[in-house]
Amino acid sequence: MTVGADAGIAHREAVDAVRRGLAELPPDAPVRLRKKTSNLFRFRDGGGARRGLAVDGLDRVLSVDPVARTADVAGMTTYSDLVAATLPHGLMPLVVPQLKTITLGGAVVGLGIESTSFRDGLPHESVIEADVLTGTGEILSTVDHPDLLAGLPNSYGTLGYALRLRIELAPVRPFVRLRHVRFGTAEATATALAEITATGRWAGERVDFCDGTVFSPHEHYLSLGEMVDSAPYLSDYTGQGIYYRSIQARDTDYLTIHDYLWRWDTDWFWCSRALGVQNPTVRRLWPSRYRRSDVYRRLVALDRRLGLSQAIARRNGAAGVEPIIQDVEVPVDRLPGFLEFFHREIGISPVWLCPLKQRDGRAWPLYPLAPDTTYVNVGFWSDAELAPGMAPDHHNRRIEQVLMALDGHKSLYSTASYTRDEFDALYGGATYRELKARYDPDGRLPDLYTKTVTG
Asked whether residue 57 falls in the same domain as residue 98, the answer is yes
Identify residue 215 by its one-letter amino acid code: F
Q: Longest Cα pair distance anywhere in the chain, in angstroms?
A: 62
Residue 45: predicted pLDDT: 52
Report if residue 271 sits inside a domain.
Answer: no
Asked if residues 49 and 55 have their Cβ atoms less than 8 Å apart, the reply is no
321 forms beta bridges with 385
* Same domain, yes or no: 196 and 157: no
Q: What is the amino acid identity at position 170?
A: A
DSSP 212-271: EEEEETTEEEEEEEEEES--S-----SSS--HHHHHHH-SEEEEEHHHHHTTTTTTTTTG
Residue 441 lies in a domain: no
Positive or negative: CA dihedral 155, 103, 397, 355: negative
- Residues 151 and 188 both lie in one domain: no
Q: Evaluate whether residue 108 is within a structural domain.
A: yes
Q: Classify 390 as helix, strand or coil.
A: coil
Q: Which of 230, 245, 263 is the last residue of a domain?
A: 263
- Verify that 106 and 28 share a domain, yes or no: yes
What pLDDT does residue 145 have? 97
- Residue 40: its pLDDT value, please? 67
Q: Is 184 found in the same domain as 157? A: no
Helix (H) or strand (E) segment spanning residue 198: helix 186-199
**Domain around 224:** 175-263
Kindly report the backbone phi and psi dihedral angles of residue 64, in degrees, each rounded to the nearest multiple of 5, phi listed first: -130, 125
Residues 52 and 32 in one domain: yes
Domain boundary among 137, 172, 207: 172
Low pLDDT (below 50) residues in the chain: 1-2, 46-50
Region of 137 (left: φ > 0; alpha: ψ -120 to 50; beta: rest) is: left
In a domain? residue 291: no
Q: How many residues does the chain have?
A: 455
Q: How far apart (Å, rounded) are the C-alpha atoms in residues 12 and 29?
A: 25
pLDDT value of residue 42: 63
**Residue 237's Cα: distance from chain center in Å?**
21
Q: Is residue 430 in some structural domain?
A: no
Task: Tell me, yes or no, whether 25 lies in a domain.
Answer: yes
Amino acid at 123: P
292: left (phi over 0), alpha (psi -120 to 50) or beta: beta
| Contact assessment for residue 33 and residue 56, using Cβ atoms and an 8 Å cutoff | no
Which helix (H) or strand (E) segment holds residue 431: the answer is helix 429-439
Question: Given this model, what pLDDT does residue 49 score?
Answer: 46
Same domain flag for 86 and 220: no
Asked if residue 299 is part of any domain, the answer here is no
pLDDT for the residue 311? 81
Give dist(CA 392, CA 444) in Å, integer.
Answer: 31
Contact indicator for 453, 423 with CB cutoff of 8 Å: yes
pLDDT at 296: 84
Q: What is the CATH number of the domain that holds 407?
A: 3.30.70.2520
- Among 223, 257, 248, CA closest to 354: 223
Cβ neighbours of residue 318 closer than 8 Å, sequence gap 6 or more = 385, 386, 387
Q: Do residue 164 and residue 18 come from a single domain?
A: yes
For residues 68 and 3, the answer to whether their CB atoms sit within 8 Å is no
Do the domain assignments include residue 58?
Answer: yes
CB 303 within 8 A of CB 321: no
- For residues 144 and 21, membership in a common domain is answered with yes
SS percent in the chain: helix, strand, coil, step 5: 35, 25, 40
Same domain as 94, residue 207: no
Q: Are 200 and 314 contained in the same domain?
A: no
CA–CA separation, 326 and 42 (whole Å):
11
Based on the structure, what is the number of domains in the chain?
Answer: 3
Three-state DSSP class for residue 359? coil
Instruction: Say which CATH number the domain at 133 has.
Output: 3.30.465.10
Task: With 0.75 as the threshold, say if the pTM is over it.
Answer: yes
**272-306, pLDDT tens digit by residue?**
998 899 999 999 999 999 998 888 888 888 877 88
Which of 45, 97, 49 has the alpha carbon at shortest distance from 304? 45
Other CB atoms within 10 Å distance of the CB of residue 198: 11
20: helix, strand or coil: helix
Q: What is the rounded CA–CA span in Å between residue 452 and residue 433? A: 15
- Give the relative orientation of helices 335-345 and 394-405 as an angle to the nearest 10 degrees: 160
Residues 341 and 208 in one domain: no
Q: Which of 172, 194, 210 is the last residue of a domain?
A: 172
